Amino acid sequence: MSTKLFELLLQASIYTVTISVVSILIGFAIAIIVSAMLLSRQRLFVLPGKIFISFFRGVPLLVQLLLIYNLLPVIGINVPSIVAAIVGLSLCTAAYQAENLRGGFASVPSGLVESAEMVGLTPMQIFRRIKAPIALRLTFPALVNEAILILKASSLVSVVGIVELTRMAQDLAGSTFLPLEIFASAGLIYLAINWIVALAGGLIERSLPGVPR
């Protein structure tokens, strides 16, 4: 396999990383809302949150992507397939991240919150200075894990025609008749990216302030 082919794979992997990073960030924003719904005292909010999580965790990501990709044009929203792919990945990861955040907020020691109330902090201050930092610290390892899962899951957006790493590998394997070398190289690139993410995640985790587990 020539270095030219490997370079093409590396270029395509930029799309893989970009799509994954954007989806993780959008997913995190949605997850904050969904986890707030889950932790709300209003039953009216809890049920939709639960259904959202159950659906996006219970249906294969491939099916979600196909559904979103085909549904958007039918209901009159014409978006490029890259947007459909990011919407699909974001909603899927939001469900997993929301469940993590819910767990994180639930395991903030109630004593800390009570003592903060005692010294007269407002609910907003308690959230900003106590609940949010501790919950984020507790859910950070899960967030790194989720980033790695999404990097791998982004291979599925190749089915809606986006030329990221997997789709590029597929195209090259078809045109060069070197499937073993090309898919193995693509696998190695995924492995390297995930290794870097895990390493960086571990470093950031150690430098984070907050409660160690």
Q: Between residues 29 and 51, which has the closer beta carbon with respect to other proteins? A: 51
State both tokens at 190: 């995924």
Q: Which CB, 59 or 106, lies closer to other proteins?
A: 59
Measured between alpha carbons, how far is 128 from 125 in angstroms, rounded to an integer?
5
Task: Kindly determine how many residues on this chain lie close enough to bind other proteins according to the rule CB under 8 A.
Answer: 39
Where do the H-state alpha helices sit in 40-80? 43-58, 61-74
> Which among 3-11, 57-65, 78-86, 125-133 is the span making contact with other proteins, rule CB under 8 A?
57-65
Look-up: residue for tokens 């979103």?
68
Torsion 19-21-24-27 (CA) sign: negative
Candidates 54-62, 97-105, 121-129, 205-213: pick the segment binding other proteins (CB under 8 A): 54-62
Residues 60-99 that bind other proteins (CB under 8 A): 60-64, 66-67, 70-71, 74-76
Does the footprint of other proteins cover residue 166 (CB under 8 A)?
yes
Q: Give the residue with the Cβ less far from other proteins, 11 or 54.
A: 54
Cα–Cα distance for residue pair 142/74, rounded to 1 Å: 36
DSSP letter for 75, please: T
Residue 60 vs 210, nearer CB to other proteins: 60
Burial degree of 172 (CB within 10 A; 0-12, 13-18, 19+): buried
Contact 156, 62 (CB under 8 A): yes
Candidates 8, 9, 160, 169; binder of other proteins (CB under 8 A) is: 169
**Does residue 17 interact with other proteins by CB under 8 A?**
no
Residues 96-155 contacting other proteins, CB under 8 A: 148, 152-155
The CA distances from residue 35 to 5, 27, 62, 105, 137, in Å, are 44, 12, 24, 9, 16
Q: Compare residues 101 and 169 and give the one whose CB is closer to other proteins.
A: 169
Applying CB under 8 A, does 186 fall inside the site for other proteins? yes
> Count of alpha carbons within 13 Å of 34, Cβ hemisphere only?
27
Residues engaged in binding other proteins (CB under 8 A): 54-55, 57-64, 66-67, 70-71, 74-76, 148, 152-156, 158-159, 166, 169-170, 173, 179-180, 183-184, 186-187, 190-191, 194-195
